[in-house]
Amino acid sequence: MLKKRIIPCLDIKDGRVVKGINFEGLRYAGNPVELASRYAQEGADELVFLDITATLEKRKTLASLVTEIAKEINIPFTVGGGINTPDDAEYLISRGADKVSINSSAVKNPELINQIAKNCGSQAVVLAIDAKKVNGNWEVFINGGKTATGIELTSWAKYGEQLGAGEILLTSMNNDGTKNGFAIDALNLVGNNVNIPVIASGGAGSMEHFTTVFSETKATAALAASIFHYNEINISQLKNYLQQNNLPVR
């Protein structure tokens, strides 16, 4: 059984960490460099940095901040937001990112997945998918969750894998920030149809939610934000809890 990974996520707006509910109502959650350093010390397995307004504001990711964080941590570091070309991806990797996360740009230009995978390796390409349940079906959304695409979740995940994505970061917009638990049905739809690792995102509110997602889906990692930012759950304590529940962690 693959050892499970715990991944804190820094959602960045205007150079600061923010968090909302269902992608709305953002509030300040801390200094990105300080939080990154704290998470590395607490035993986080990886760190995700998402510049959440880069696509909407039609600008590149905050590269200087990426470099600053990379210097502070010694764990794999994924960066997303505003990556529209293979050069954008290579530049962020040169600034300290280990992987890049692409979302809206991949939907608009699926060949981008293949191009980055060829240049940087599949292991460096995380296909981030923001999905929302609409009339009983999971649909892919882009532009920070603002724009419906009409694309069905499973078909997009499978296509992303075919194009060379090495991992899928699946965020349920319905569950995001609610602390009611992960979207088990969406995770199973994807996990049962792809052969690459799936990161569960959206809805973590308790240690039990992590046990559930790892027991009931094929997710190999779980990502959370506010529960870590506001010290509601400590990462090292969470890992001890999972081990006590016979879930192997890194």
- If residue 194 lies in a helix (H) or strand (E), which one and from where to where? none
Q: Which residues pair with 62 in a beta bridge?
A: none
Candidates 11, 45, 51, 88; catalytic one: 11
CB 66 within 8 A of CB 95: yes
CB 171 within 8 A of CB 131: yes
Q: Is 185 a catalytic residue?
A: no
Q: Which of 228, 230, 157 is nearest to 195 (CA)?
A: 157
Q: Is 11 a catalytic residue?
A: yes
Q: Which of 245, 187, 240, 176 is nearest to 213 (CA)?
A: 187
CB 216 within 8 A of CB 186: no
Instruction: Give the three-state DSSP class for 79.
Output: strand
Q: Considering only the C-alpha atoms of the chain, give the largest distance between any 2 of them, rounded to a whole number of Å.
A: 46
* Residues belonging to the chain: 250
Q: Which of 12, 75, 15 is nearest to 39 (CA)?
A: 75
Candidates 88, 130, 176, 185; catalytic one: 130
Residue positions annotated with a catalytic role: 11, 130
